[in-house]
Amino acid sequence: MVQLEKGKYGRLIKVTWIFFSAALALFLFYAYAVSINFMGLFGALPDLKFLENPKNDLASELYSADGVLMGKYFTSNRSPVEYEQISPNVINALLATEDARFEKHSGIDFKGTFAIAWSVLTLDPRGSSTITQQLAKNLFNTRGKDYRGSLGGVPGLNMLIIKTKEWIMAIKLEKNYTKKEIIKMYLNTVPFGSNAYGISTAAKTFFGKKASDLTTEEAALLVGIVKGTSYYSPIYHPNRALERRNVVLGQMVKYGYLSSDKYSELKTKPIDMTKYAVENHNKGSAPYFREVIRGFLYKWAKARGIDLDTEGLKIYTTIDSKMQKYAEESVTENMKDQQKKFFAHWKGRNPWITEDYKEIPGYVEREAKKTGRFKQLKKQYEDNEAAIWKEMNQPVKMKVFSWNGEKDTTLSPMDSIRYYKHFLHTGFMSMDPNTGHVKAWVGGIDFKHFKYDHVMQGKRQPGSSFKPIVYATAIDNGYHPCQEVLDAPVTFASDIGGEPWTPNNSDGPPSYERMTLRRAMGRSINTISAKLMQEFGPNRVVDYAKRLGIKSPLEPVPSLCLGTSPVSVYELLGAYSTFVNGGIWTKPMFITRIENRYGEVIESFPPTTVEALSEETAYLMVHMLQGALQEEGGTAQGLFRYKMARTNEIGGKTGTTQNYSDGWFVGVTQDLVTGVWVGGDDMSIHFRSMSLGQGGRMALPAWGIYMDKVASDPNLGLKNSKFRRPKNLPVSLNCDDYNTVAPSDSTQQQYVAPSTVSTDEGIL
């Protein structure tokens, strides 16, 4: 009987071993078949080369010249950090919650794998996948279509194949990387929700801090979110997030990373989301600047076969983060004040008016037809105008911009257009004339609500701020700042039957006073600018403008002497910088170098320069620009309200166009040239009086506020308070030493315009 039982059990053991051996052999064959993608059934695995250099999508980052992160270009917002830059609290919370046996296994924790059912029954939050397996899934997208074979569509079997691939990749990862490297890669790739990929971005998004500074409870919250980024979102489901955070803290106690007393203290702390901010293209420093150079960067990247949004490039710009901050603050302060005046000025009336100050009929309707909303409705309703306008006048909930913060309101699309057309806009740029480096760029009043850039993209008539180019033409062709010219009428007649044009001065008819060129430019005398245009001709002035970097089309007509052809702030600053830089035009530049994700420089950007003027002519023009402050009646004397103007050598020029549609000011020092434009969305939207609408009132204050801030910063104080003078200036700047030779005593000059030119402009 005993022998019978022994034989029976022996056969059972033998059968069991045979079955186990066969199952093991079958499993090994299956694993091998998956690893080689046998007959294309299972889908490919990443090759060893890819494994040795795993590449996940990284946001390309834009840095200021002083190393401050300004913004990113991304599909997935991910920025990598080193292991040492991650708080130990994060690593402890991760190990306790996701993989307590991480240091003991080699990629696969079979104890954890076979304990799935027990984990579910006991509510143990530890998953069955190891951190290494999860990393494999994150790095190689093992569940994506790219790695799916012909058996991938079979329910149940597909998941088994996926898990097998993750096991295989986990083992390979463990062979190629240290435990610290695996932890680092995992935390740099895992999604946390709110468009935050990786621990660095998550720390900034949820708590406004670096990954190295995360506290225990903050680390527990972020690790808890990983289980379900939407379900456990502290923004949308704070109670769930709090409960999940405390579960993670409990795991940390269980595995010895946290004391019970500390747990008791932390579990009662509320979740603090006061610094929560999702990174997007509307936020961060210099959003207009970032958006403008986005086009350049995408074009540059495309030409080199690079994906800007995923390549993890580091783009180093010329922007100084402190100067940018001061510029944004100054623009805000000035534009709040200007807008307050504008609202009061137009109280009870709409500001879109004709030249005789009457409201433009049908203006809002015409503007509405340009909107995306109208074009969408036109496709939807085809030619049913009544239905389109009914929708355009239907009130809807929306957020609108105001200088007191974004407001929730209910407006129809038509009312929204009316509301936004009441706002003034601005463009502000500051650059180092010696290097061409752009230091600050503010393209408008609020990037979220007004995307249009008024520094490079927008072009408006510069008015009198164009006059220095006219004067530079004269100075470079024999005139001297001390040369006296008569403030007398100058008439431009057309040979095509048009009306002759005789420009007046902004303050009325000519004075018939004889004055130096320096005083004439300082006081912005229109007749003398017209006299110089008459002598040298529009084509000569256009030629000098091009030398000085003006790329916009300039109409070669007499009225160009008063700035009738639109230009950008960007162009005009390049021209003024030439005067300060000894006659060398340097293209305003905004990028110095681009590095790949490994820190290797893949392109540097040297300055582009052209010798536009002689050093002597350039310095004489700087001397001329100083006349706006130093000459009696100078248009920039309002700057003396600001401390910086009383302690440094400064030059500048105001600009005001017809009907006060555009206000400009460009100011120069040896180290900074800064330009400001202020105006309405259209030229028909403007102040109605010189006392409010001139460049010295609208634009100049922003320059003064900004320069006071820059000059008072001990790290940014102007290095050279005086302009750099040529060593051997061949002429004296003292008008007492200059033998005045008046060009002409005639009080009425005639100029016949080319037959193809219209001369019906009359600009103040």
289 pLDDT more than 90: yes
Q: What is the mean pLDDT of residues 591-620?
A: 96
Given this model, what pLDDT does residue 150 score? 54
244-265 per-position pLDDT tens digit? 999 999 999 999 999 999 999 9
661-698 per-position pLDDT tens digit? 999 999 999 999 999 999 999 999 999 999 999 999 99
476 pLDDT more than 90: yes
Give the C-alpha separation, 314 to 322, whole Å.
20
Q: How confident is the model at residue 280 (pLDDT cuts 50, 70, 90)?
A: confident
Given this model, what pLDDT does residue 34 score? 58
Helices (H), 699-736: 700-712
Give the C-alpha separation, 232 to 125, whole Å.
14
8 Å CB contact between 99 and 126: yes
759 pLDDT more than 70: no
Given this model, what pLDDT does residue 757 score? 29
Helices (H), 346-407: 363-368, 372-381, 385-392
Neighbours of 619 (CB within 10 A): 23
8 Å CB contact between 65 and 437: yes
Positive or negative, the CA dihedral 123, 129, 132, 137 is negative
8 Å CB contact between 133 and 186: no
Q: How confident is the model at residue 734 (pLDDT cuts 50, 70, 90)?
A: confident
Give the C-alpha separation, 62 to 593, whole Å.
11
Our measurement of the distance from residue 184's CA atom to the centroid of its chain's CA atoms, rounded to an integer in Å, reads 30
Q: Sort 256 into a burial class: Cβ within 10 Å, 0-12 / 13-18 / 19+.
A: exposed
Neighbours of 184 (CB within 10 A): 22
Q: How confident is the model at residue 364 (pLDDT cuts 50, 70, 90)?
A: very high
Q: How confident is the model at residue 751 (pLDDT cuts 50, 70, 90)?
A: very low
Given this model, what pLDDT does residue 731 score? 82
Q: Which residue has the higher pLDDT, 14 or 71?
A: 71
In SS3 terms, 421-439 reads as CCCEEEEEEEECCCCCEEE
Give the C-alpha separation, 410 to 396, whole Å.
5
Given this model, what pLDDT does residue 166 score? 72
Given this model, what pLDDT does residue 362 score? 95
Is 134 in a helix, a strand, or coil? helix
For the ranges 104-118, 264-278, 647-661, the lowest mean pLDDT is seen at 104-118
Q: How confident is the model at residue 159 (pLDDT cuts 50, 70, 90)?
A: low
Given this model, what pLDDT does residue 763 score? 31
The angle that helices 88-98 and 131-140 make with each other, rounded to 10 degrees, is 100
8 Å CB contact between 639 and 713: no
Given this model, what pLDDT does residue 738 score? 75
Beta bridge partners of 427: 677
Q: How confident is the model at residue 155 (pLDDT cuts 50, 70, 90)?
A: low
Mean pLDDT: which of 70-74, 165-169, 486-490 is highest?
486-490
Percent of the chain with pLDDT over 70: 85
Q: Which residue has the higher pLDDT, 78 or 228?
A: 228
750 pLDDT more than 50: no
30-65 per-position pLDDT tens digit? 665 655 555 556 666 666 555 555 566 788 999 999
Give the C-alpha separation, 344 to 338, whole Å.
10
Q: What is the mean pLDDT of residues 96-119?
A: 70
**Triad 738, 739, 742: Cα angle to 5°:** 115
> Rounded mean pLDDT of the chain?
87
191-213 per-position pLDDT tens digit? 999 888 899 999 999 999 999 99
Give the C-alpha separation, 439 to 200, whole Å.
28
380-418 per-position pLDDT tens digit? 998 799 999 999 999 999 999 999 999 999 999 999 999
Mean pLDDT: which of 326-330, 717-721, 748-752 is highest?
326-330
Q: How confident is the model at residue 25 (pLDDT cuts 50, 70, 90)?
A: confident
488-510 per-position pLDDT tens digit? 999 998 766 678 889 999 888 89
Given this model, what pLDDT does residue 145 score? 58
